[in-house]
């Protein structure tokens, strides 16, 4: 049976308790899971897909309920101020989001959530990483993604999608895939028995459904706007993104209550400035806020994306360590972060705007053993031209390919600013092979 038409808040509460019941009674269940960085895009992809599919499951669905999992512990929500800003527009609170903490503990998950009882739809990634990936990657039943295809998901995914297309935002692809089902839900009202078309006035039920649609549309819209800089980034914006924005804006307009005060640019600015408002976070939290990890040839690579400059992080590190030697404090903080995760190779990518308003990227690479050091040097040579890497200098000379006790580090300006982690990660991984 499909889930009842509901608000986002109502749906998430329903999904959370249904997840508990499914675990307790070993029922089949389908998860929709975003990637481990758990950025806004991953979160909204999984929520949007799970919401629409649970209310309109295909006849041969593995299970009628689709549970959206945000791929972080609950505590990770607090270091994502853009989530909190967006939740207000979608009328949900952090406690509604379903996170890793809602799954059985890793030590018992295999027996409590038997792989054969699960199906996993990957959104915003196409290779199931991490501890969950180790246990459940054989159970991947569908994918919608905009990263490089790692050819891990089988071609035949039955009634679930197999969509891997380069776009600014993966949420655009989810929106595109769900359009028809969503439109049917919108016109069906609260249940199929609802009366329709009574003159030109909206019935109360229509008003409620339009509000729910508009809240969900804002949730999806936020990611697309963040990922495409309000559709202004020519490098990132594709036809899929602009069409999805058009579609979601139309959903918002059906709700006079929300559309009256809605302005796309203001909405983008609000979510974007919340995303950049990380001054109150600890440096370790800034580094783990948008973080991804890979295993390559027995070596472990981690990459943090940060929306502030290295300079900002160095000052933060200096403040936290109460020292004047900012470079040293910063490098120590990076060592600590890498050690906690047992990394062989660690990279930090930053985005910032210069005082002249120019969009900039920095790239820092830190290697911790001989083979990681040779991979890092190979990367530097191979990627130099494509990324247009240029030496970055600081007071302590951190940029000079410094070697310390068994480590090597270097910082560059990445002058080709169109390349995000989506491109830099594959280049680093290639160099490790």
Using CB under 5 A, list all residues that contact Mn ion: 41, 124, 170
Tell me how far, at minimum, the Cβ of 143 lies from Mn ion, in Å: 13
CA 82 remoteness from chain centre: 12
> Of 57 and 161, which CB lies nearer to Mn ion in the complex structure?
161
Query: How far is Cα 321 from Cα 329, in angstroms, rounded to an integer?
Result: 7
Between CA 248 and CA 216 the distance in angstroms is 9
Contact 43, 97 (CB under 8 A): yes
CB of 41 to Mn ion, least distance (A): 4
State the nearest-atom distance from the C-beta of 34 to Mn ion, in Å.
8
Q: 40, 8 in Cβ contact below 8 A? A: no
CA distances from 380 to 294, 374, 421 (A): 19, 10, 15
Q: How far is the CB of 134 from Mn ion (least distance, A)?
A: 23
Task: Indicate the residue whose CB is closest to Mn ion.
Answer: 41
Taking the complex as a whole, the smallest distance from the CB of residue 271 to Mn ion amounts, in Å, to: 15
E strand or H helix that includes residue 359: strand 359-367
Nearer to Mn ion by Cβ, of 206 and 241: the residue is: 241
Rounded least distance, CB 217 to Mn ion, Å? 18
Judged by beta carbon, residue 41 or residue 213, the one nearer Mn ion is 41
Burial class of residue 195 (count of CB atoms within 10 Å of its CB; 0-12, 13-18, 19+): exposed
CB of 416 to Mn ion, least distance (A): 20
Question: Residue 41 or residue 241: which is nearer to Mn ion going by CB?
Answer: 41
Q: At what angle do helices 326-340 and 310-321 cross, to 10 degrees?
A: 90
The β-bridge relationship of strands 359-367 and 299-306 is unpaired
Strand pairing class (140-145; 118-123): parallel
In whole angstroms, what is the distance from residue 264 CA to residue 245 CA?
Answer: 10
Residue whose CB is less far from Mn ion, 5 or 361: 361
d(CA 136, CA 127): 11
Nearer to Mn ion, 38 or 364 (CB): 38
Shortest CB 377 distance to Mn ion, Å: 30
Across the chain, which distance is largest between two alpha carbons, in Å?
78
Instruction: Compute CA distances 10 → 4, 17, 91, 325, whole Å.
Output: 9, 11, 10, 51
Nearer to Mn ion, 37 or 314 (CB): 37
Kindly report the three-state secondary structure assignment for every residue of 95-127. Answer: HHCCEHHHCCCCCCHHHHCCHHHEEEEEECCCC
DSSP 4-43: PP--HHHHHHHHHHHHHHHHHTT--EEEEE--TT--HHHH
User: Among residues 124 and 160, whose Cβ is nearest to Mn ion?
Assistant: 124
The two three-digit tokens of residue 250, written as one number: 């139309």
In sequence order, the 6+-apart residues with CB closer than 8 A to the CB of 88 are: none
Which is nearer to Mn ion, 316 or 419 (by Cβ)? Answer: 419
**Smallest gap from residue 204 Cβ to Mn ion (A):** 37
For the CB of residue 305, give the shortest distance to Mn ion in the complex, in Å: 11
The radius of gyration of the chain from alpha carbons, rounded to an integer in Å, stands at: 22
Nearer to Mn ion, 124 or 290 (CB): 124
In whole angstroms, how close is the CB of 212 to Mn ion at the nearest point? Answer: 25
135 torsion bin: left (phi>0), alpha (psi -120 to 50), beta (else)? alpha
Q: Which is nearer to Mn ion, 72 or 170 (CB)?
A: 170
């Amino acid at each position: 049976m499909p889930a009842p038409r509901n608000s986002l808040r109502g749906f998430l509460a329903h999904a959370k308790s249904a997840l508990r019941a499914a675990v307790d009674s070993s029922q089949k269940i389908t998860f929709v899971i975003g990637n481990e960085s758990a950025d806004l895009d991953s979160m909204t992809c999984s929520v949007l897909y799970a919401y629409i599919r649970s209310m309109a499951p295909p006849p041969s669905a593995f299970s009628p309920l689709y549970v959206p999992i945000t791929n972080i512990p609950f505590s990770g929500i607090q270091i994502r101020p853009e989530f909190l800003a967006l939740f207000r527009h979608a009328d949900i609170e952090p406690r509604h989001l379903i996170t890793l903490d809602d799954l059985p503990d890793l030590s018992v998950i295999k027996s409590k959530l038997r792989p054969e009882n699960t199906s996993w739809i990957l959104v915003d990634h196409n290779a199931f990483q991490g501890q969950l990936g180790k246990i459940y990657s054989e159970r991947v039943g569908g994918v919608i993604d905009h990263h490089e295809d790692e050819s891990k998901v089988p071609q035949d995914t039955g009634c679930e999608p197999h969509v891997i297309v380069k776009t600014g935002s993966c949420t655009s692809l989810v929106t595109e895939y769900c359009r028809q089902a969503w439109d049917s839900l919108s016109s069906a009202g609260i249940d199929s028995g609802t009366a329709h078309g009574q003159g030109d006035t909206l019935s109360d039920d229509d008003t409620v459904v339009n509000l729910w649609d508009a809240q969900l549309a804002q949730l999806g819209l936020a990611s697309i706007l963040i990922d495409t800089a309000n559709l202004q980034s020519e490098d990132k914006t594709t036809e899929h993104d602009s069409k999805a924005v058009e579609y979601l804006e139309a959903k918002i307009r059906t709700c006079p209550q929300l559309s009256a005060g809605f302005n796309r640019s203001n909405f983008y600015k609000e979510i974007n400035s919340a995303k950049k408002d990380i001054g109150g976070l600890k440096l370790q939290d800034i580094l783990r806020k948008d973080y991804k990890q890979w295993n390559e040839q027995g070596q472990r690579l981690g990459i943090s994306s940060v929306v502030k400059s290295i300079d900002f992080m160095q000052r933060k590190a200096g403040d936290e360590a109460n020292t004047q030697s900012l470079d040293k404090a910063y490098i120590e903080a990076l060592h600590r972060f890498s050690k906690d995760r047992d990394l062989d190779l660690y990279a930090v990518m930053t985005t910032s705007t210069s005082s002249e308003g120019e969009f900039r990227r920095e790239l820092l690479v830190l290697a911790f053993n001989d083979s990681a050091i040779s991979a890092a040097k190979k990367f530097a040579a191979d990627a130099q031209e494509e990324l247009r890497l240029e030496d970055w200098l600081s007071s302590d000379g951190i940029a000079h390919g410094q070697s310390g006790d068994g480590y090597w580090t270097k910082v560059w300006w990445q002058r080709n600013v169109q390349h995000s982690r989506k491109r830099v990660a594959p280049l680093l991984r290639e160099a490790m092979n």
